[in-house]
């Protein structure tokens, strides 16, 4: 860990209380990109001091989501629970320096104070009764009460910062009370740990959600009291659902890994997140290299960004088309395995991917399209009645005989096409009169990409087997 401030250092500091959600992923992406853009370092820090709410599963889910998005940290993961010794050390230093003090107020006293303030229609706040001041006599510490430690926040003046996203923000110190930095059991509190970590880790730019704006003045005052450098802060506006309400499960997937499960490519999700509140002219589609080269905090909108599933789907379709067939083949096999399709050795999934990738929007749609290539379909009785007429079955048998004559090694779309045309000519049929029944027999549906290519990919043996059983 280095306290050097010469290099840009950002961090993503999730609390492991759930999966990595879309908002968190965008914060991570922007922090990562900012560090990359400036040749800096990106730190991952797990803020797990809230033992009751933090879980190892959530830690794993965060790592998994970040790995999937390839947002690899240069440093960390650090765990706050492994740094408790350090927080205790700094608390002792602050007590010794007089920038923090013990407060012996009991819960009952605090409740009574709050009730009085509320009765007077005042904002509930600590009244500073244990705050040491020159010339002030403090009460005698009661026996048997474990004190909390409070930060001696400046009483007057203002604390402000030039927010990298929202512009100048300031608070009156009088609005901030002497908040607790260590509880009676000695455990440090949230704002305190963040400050010690940002200091120790040499964080220069804190990019985080704007739900933290109210913590920032407290953190800045703490940093100043410690004589630590104050990082720059940029608070990202929240992400709203398509209906304008705060993004939630109700709007569909909010966990990053749910998008993986739903058949999205990480590059589509990243590209989508990059545009969620940030822009580079009218550019919609760009790689992460391009994003890193362009990224700055000046083009982040201060207003909330609205989630748009249609646009994400559009980007996903774009990246699917660009995607390497072998990679798609791997995704097809993985997804079919999830559905219990074990044997995907043949036909070659990469050829299926090439056939369908222009037509689908998700990997799941691609896997669905590939399914009948591995598991013979069962067309519905309606489809059969409609398309597998006696005439169609006779034409299919005719076609089968012609396909039989093609050497397996020469079973190409061209050879199949020639057999199809010969059958049409012999039977006086038009292409749909043969191609549609053939699709129903081979894939269980009347539509598909070019039928000669479908037949070639399915292979001679399997095509003949399916035609043979068609009338049954």
In the complex, least distance from residue 207 CB atom to ligand GLU, rounded to whole angstroms = 8
Q: Is 165 in the site for ligand GLU (CB under 6 A)?
A: no
| Candidates 11-19, 162-170, 446-454, 455-463; binding stretch for ligand GLU (CB under 6 A) | 11-19
Q: Distance between CA atoms of 61 and 63, rounded to whole angstroms?
A: 5
Alpha helix stretches (DSSP H) within 256-380: 256-261, 266-274, 288-294, 309-322, 325-338, 349-356, 363-374
Please, which residue, 171 or 373, has the CB nearer to ligand GLU? 171
| Cα–Cα distances in angstroms (integers) from residue 419 to residues 345, 450, 467, in the given order | 27, 14, 14
Query: Which tokens sit at 189?
Result: 């509190």
Q: Report, in Å, the least distance between residue 178 CB and ligand GLU.
A: 21
Q: Which stretch binds ligand GLU (CB under 6 A): 12-20, 307-315, 324-332, 401-409?
A: 12-20
Q: How far is the CB of 81 from ligand GLU (least distance, A)?
A: 13
Instruction: Report the nearest approach of ligand GLU to the CB of residue 265 (Å).
Output: 26
Q: Which stretch binds ligand GLU (CB under 6 A): 13-21, 171-179, 368-376, 384-392?
A: 13-21
Instruction: Count the helix, strand and coil residues of the chain and give each as a percent rounded to the nearest 5.
Output: 50, 10, 40
> Could you give the CA distance from residue 346 to residue 356 in angstroms, rounded to a whole number?
17
Min dist CB 11 to ligand GLU, Å, is 7
CB of 212 to ligand GLU, least distance (A): 5
Place of tokens 């089968």: 400
- Minimum distance, C-beta of residue 196 to ligand GLU, in the bound complex (Å): 12
x/- letters, 39..58, toward ligand GLU (CB under 6 A): --------x-----------
Enumerate residues 6+ apart whose C-beta is below 8 A from 30. Answer: 207, 236, 278, 295, 300
Could you say whether residue 208 binds ligand GLU (CB under 6 A)? yes
| Size of the residue set binding ligand GLU (CB under 6 A) | 7
Nearer to ligand GLU, 47 or 331 (CB): 47
Interface region with ligand GLU, contact rule CB under 6 A, candidates 9-17, 87-95, 225-233, 333-341: 9-17
- Decide whether 207 or 443 has the Cβ nearer to ligand GLU: 207
Residue-wise DSSP of 60-118: HHHHHHHHHTT---SEEEEEGGGGHHHHHHHHHHHHHHTSEEEE---HHHHHHHHHHHH
Strands (E), 106-236: 148-151, 158-163, 167-172, 180-182, 205-209, 232-236
Tokens of 296: 């700055």
- Closest separation in Å from C-beta 208 to ligand GLU: 4
- Of 8, 90, 194, 388, which one interacts with ligand GLU (CB under 6 A)? 194
- Closer of 14 and 202 to ligand GLU (Cβ): 14
Report which DSSP code applies to 453.
Answer: H
Please provide the distance, in angstroms rounded to a whole number, between the alpha carbons at the two ends of the chain. 72
From 7-15, 57-65, 130-138, 334-342, span contacting ligand GLU (CB under 6 A): 7-15
Catalytic residue, candidates 155, 158, 246, 249 = 249
Structure tokens at 301: 């909108």
Does residue 249 have an active-site annotation? yes
Burial of 44 (0-12, 13-18, 19+ CB in 10 A): buried
Candidates 8, 9, 10, 14; binder of ligand GLU (CB under 6 A) is 14
Q: Which stretch binds ligand GLU (CB under 6 A): 8-16, 146-154, 345-353, 381-389?
A: 8-16
| Beta strand ranges found along 185-292 (DSSP E) | 205-209, 232-236, 239-240
Q: According to the binding rule CB under 6 A, does residue 212 interact with ligand GLU?
A: yes
Contact between 15 and ligand GLU (CB under 6 A)?
A: yes
Q: What minimum distance in Å lies between the beta carbon of 367 and ligand GLU?
A: 34
The CA-based angle 213-214-219, given to 5 degrees, is 90
Q: Take residue 389 and report the two structure tokens written for it.
A: 């007429």
Q: Give the whole-angstrom CA distance, residue 315 versus residue 269.
A: 8
Using the minimum distance from each CB to ligand GLU, give the nearer residue, 45 or 387.
45
Cβ atoms 62, 218 nearer than 8 A: no
Which residue number, 55 or 279, has a Cβ lying nearer to ligand GLU? 55
Residue 218 vs 387, nearer CB to ligand GLU:
218
**How far apart are the C-alpha atoms of 136 and 159, rounded to whole Å?**
26
Could you say which of 8, 9, 10, 13 contacts ligand GLU (CB under 6 A)?
13
Question: Under rule CB under 6 A, which residues in 249-278 are in contact with ligand GLU?
Answer: none
- Write the DSSP string, 387-452: H--HHHHHHHHHHHHHHHTS-GGG--HHHHHHHHHHHHHHHT--HHHHHHHHHHHHHSSS--S-HH
Q: For ligand GLU, give the closer residue by CB, 16 or 263.
A: 16
Q: Which is nearer to ligand GLU, 50 or 365 (CB)?
A: 50
Does 90 participate in binding ligand GLU (rule CB under 6 A)? no
Q: Which residues are catalytic?
A: 249
Residues that bind ligand GLU (CB under 6 A): 13-15, 47, 194, 208, 212
């Amino acid at each position: 860990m280095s306290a050097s401030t010469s290099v840009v250092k950002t961090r993503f500091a999730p609390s492991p209380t759930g999966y990595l959600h879309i908002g968190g992923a965008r914060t991570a992406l922007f922090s990562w990109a900012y560090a990359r853009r400036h040749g800096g370092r990106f730190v991952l820090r797990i803020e797990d001091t809230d033992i009751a709410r933090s879980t190892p599963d959530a830690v794993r889910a965060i790592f998994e989501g970040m790995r999937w998005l390839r947002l690899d940290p240069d440093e960390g993961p650090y765990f706050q629970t492994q740094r408790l010794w350090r927080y205790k050390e700094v608390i002792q230093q602050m007590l010794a320096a007089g920038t923090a003090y013990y407060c012996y107020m009991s819960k009952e006293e605090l409740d009574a104070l709050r009730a009085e303030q509320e009765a007077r229609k005042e904002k509930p706040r600590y009244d500073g009764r244990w705050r040491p001041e020159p010339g002030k006599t403090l009460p005698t510490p009661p026996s048997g009460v474990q004190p909390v430690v409070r930060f001696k926040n400046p009483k007057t003046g203002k604390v402000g910062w030039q927010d990298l996203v929202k512009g100048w923000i300031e608070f009156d110190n009088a609005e901030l009370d002497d908040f607790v930095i260590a509880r009676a059991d000695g455990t440090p509190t949230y704002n305190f740990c963040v400050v010690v970590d940002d200091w120790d880790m040499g964080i220069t730019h804190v990019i985080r959600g704007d739900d933290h704006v109210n913590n920032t003045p407290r953190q800045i005052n703490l940093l100043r009291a410690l004589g630590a450098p104050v990082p720059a802060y940029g608070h990202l506006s929240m992400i709203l659902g398509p209906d304008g309400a705060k993004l939630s499960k109700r709007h569909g997937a909010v966990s990053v890994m749910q998008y993986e499960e739903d058949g999205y490519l990480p590059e589509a999700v990243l590209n989508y997140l990059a545009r969620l509140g940030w822009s580079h002219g009218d550019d919609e589609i760009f790689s992460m290299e391009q994003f890193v080269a362009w990224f700055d905090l000046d083009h982040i909108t201060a207003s909330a960004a609205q989630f748009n599933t249609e646009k994400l789907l559009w980007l996903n379709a774009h990246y699917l088309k660009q995607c390497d067939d072998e990679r798609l083949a791997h995704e097809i096999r993985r997804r079919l395995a999830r559905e219990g399709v074990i044997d995907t050795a043949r036909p070659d999934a990469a050829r299926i991917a090439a056939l369908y990738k222009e037509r689908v929007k998700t990997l799941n749609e691609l896997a669905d399209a590939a399914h009948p290539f591995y598991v013979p379909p069962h067309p519905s009785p309606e489809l059969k009645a409609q398309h597998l007429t006696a005439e169609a079955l006779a034409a299919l048998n005719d076609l089968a005989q012609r396909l039989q004559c093609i050497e397996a090694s020469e079973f190409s779309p061209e050879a199949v096409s020639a057999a199809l045309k010969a059958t049409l000519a012999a039977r006086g049929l038009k292409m749909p009169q043969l191609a549609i029944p053939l699709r129903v027999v081979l894939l269980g549906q009347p539509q598909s990409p070019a039928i000669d290519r479908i037949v070639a990919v399915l292979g001679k043996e399997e095509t003949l087997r399916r035609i043979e059983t068609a009338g049954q």
